Amino acid sequence: MQIEASSLFSLPDGLELTSLTVVGNVLTLHVTATAQSRPCPLCTQEATHVRSYYTRLVADVPCAGRRVQLILHVRKFRCDTVSCPRKIFAERLGPFVEAWARKTTRLRHAIEAIGLSTCGEGGARLADRLAIATSPTTILRRIMALPLPPGDPVTHLGIDDFAFRRGRSYGTVLVDLQRNKVIDLLPDRKAETAKAWMRAHAEIELVSRDRGGDYAAAASQGAPQAAQTADRFHLCKNLTEAVEKALARCRAELRKSQKAKKKPAEDTPPEEPLPALLTSDGRPYSAHQTERYDCYQQVMALREQGAKVKEIAKRVGLGARTVQRWLKDGAYVETNYHHRHRSSFDRYEAYVRRRWDEGVHNIQQLWREIKALGYPHSDRALRAHLEAVRGKKPAELEEAGVLDHFSAKKAVWLFVRPFDDLLKQEQEELLALCQASAQAETIYQLVQEFFRLVRARQGTQLDSWMSKVKTSAIPELQRFATGLERDKAAVVAGLTLIHSNGQVEGQVTRIKLIKRMMFGRAGFALLRQRVLHAL
């Protein structure tokens, strides 16, 4: 199999590989220019007279793990056009290698790609691994030298801010909502700057922005021809914040109801759990000890009823000798071994685990269920087993409901997601909260209705929702509704339109990632290059 060496290295027409040598990790290719004539760079006439020969050393993309350098054997031509002031010129090899360049164009592109996916330092290390010799400064210089991509006309513009240095300086991100692409970054979030940008884009038909504020002003002045929409992402975000505040206010009501719940009601006394058993040295009984004690109680009860030893042994599941010994002792004798051993709980353990994971943490409930399946011991024994299995006190787990550890920050996520998206345990928590507080219940209904409206893009239903809020006596939601009222045209448009700034938020997340890769030290200009040229 004969392979044309020049084509193997993808050399352009007019360049021929004449020899190659390998020294260490470097592959050196001798490449000779062979074109009969070259155009004069000034008068563009083809010149045929070779005046002299010289060599250029140029780095190329690596080959099979080796660095590649080209020794280009090139020529100087004499221009024969009488009127041309240029008498002698060096032949040009563009676009393969630009004039004066010390790297091939494809190597430059490779370095740019590495730079755009990494940072200066990391890029240089990666390049070294890939047998490309470069430095962090070269990588950064290459990225800064990239020409801005041509600005395509944008009709649907999404605008939002992003933290450039968190809490200290912010920039603005502009997204083409139809192409889902960042089209520019601005160095601040001032109305003036955004306005100037929009002025230069008369083709904008729609601006999707957060509610009110600087971007609304920028759009009114910079793109007066465009319709404005309050984007759904920010509507939902603002509502979520209002709900969190409202829930934080419900905290007192929730705690009061929890205390009331803990006090047993007089007409329906709850099932009295058996008192905890303690060993003589004050430690709680292990699961085995508890089971054994239960058996002892059963033995005594059966004896009381006049049952014979053999019968007792059979019914309680013990050996006749044990029964006999217990009866003879006359009093319960503690065992003190704590090792895990086979127990009648083993058969039910998988079931209890599954139910526990499904969110059933009520021990009485679990006990009734496994009792129905044949578990012979008391709820106290089950409790002891759960302690052994889970390494925690189930009593604590059982009572540590959402009400005790109520956090508005966490609870808000139960309120804003669709009920069907919640885990079973989350659904139970949500129901508990709504049962405990009438306000929470009202908040829940209003929030869910708003999100249904957003999902179904029913901007027209907004009025009826707002009037419900006004009569709701939830001040946080009322304030939210008042804000909507002020920006109502844009809100209704935002609720009805197909686009959402959700994608702008996605882009902001990408910018964050790019920023992180740059160790947060990058200047705005570099960040802009990185984002606009992102691979």
> 79 vs 127, which CB is nearer to Zn ion?
79
CB of 74 to Zn ion, least distance (A): 18
Among 69, 81, 105, 193, binds Zn ion (CB under 5 A): 81
> Residue 158 region, left (φ>0) first, then alpha (ψ -120 to 50), else beta?
beta
Instruction: Give the integer Cα–Cα distance in Å for 69 and 20.
Output: 10
CB of 39 to Zn ion, least distance (A): 8
Percent helix, strand, coil in the chain (nearest 5)?
Answer: 50, 15, 35
Can residue 43 be called a binding residue for Zn ion (CB under 5 A)? Answer: yes
CB of 81 to Zn ion, least distance (A): 5
Residue type, position 395, single letter? A
Among 5, 26, 84, 248, binds Zn ion (CB under 5 A): 84
> 45 vs 445, which CB is nearer to Zn ion?
45
CB of 90 to Zn ion, least distance (A): 13
Q: How many residues bind Zn ion (CB under 5 A)?
A: 7
> 42 vs 525, which CB is nearer to Zn ion?
42
> 7 vs 83, which CB is nearer to Zn ion?
83
CB of 38 to Zn ion, least distance (A): 11
Among 86, 249, 251, 510, binds Zn ion (CB under 5 A): 86
Instruction: Estimate the crossing angle of helix 502-517 against helix 232-262, to 10 degrees.
Output: 90
Instruction: Give the integer Cα–Cα distance in Å for 263 and 270.
Output: 10
How many Cβ atoms are within 10 Å of 431's Cβ, its own excluded? 15
CA 344 remoteness from chain centre: 45
Among 40, 111, 114, 411, binds Zn ion (CB under 5 A): 40
CB of 49 to Zn ion, least distance (A): 12
Site mask, Zn ion, residues 60-79, x = CB under 5 A?
-------------------x
Among 42, 145, 276, 333, binds Zn ion (CB under 5 A): 42
Distances (CA, A) of 409 to 242, 246, 472: 11, 11, 22
What 148-152 contacts at long range (C-beta under 8 Å, 24+ apart), as own/partner pairs, is 148/532, 149/532, 149/533, 151/183, 151/184, 152/176, 152/179, 152/183
CA dihedral of residues 245, 247, 251, 256 (deg, nearest 10): 150
Radius of gyration of the chain (CA): 39
CB of 40 to Zn ion, least distance (A): 3
Can residue 322 be called a binding residue for Zn ion (CB under 5 A)? Answer: no
Can residue 90 be called a binding residue for Zn ion (CB under 5 A)? Answer: no
**Binding span for Zn ion by CB under 5 A among 43-51, 304-312, 355-363, 372-380:** 43-51
Residues in the site for Zn ion, rule: CB under 5 A?
40, 42-43, 79, 81, 84, 86
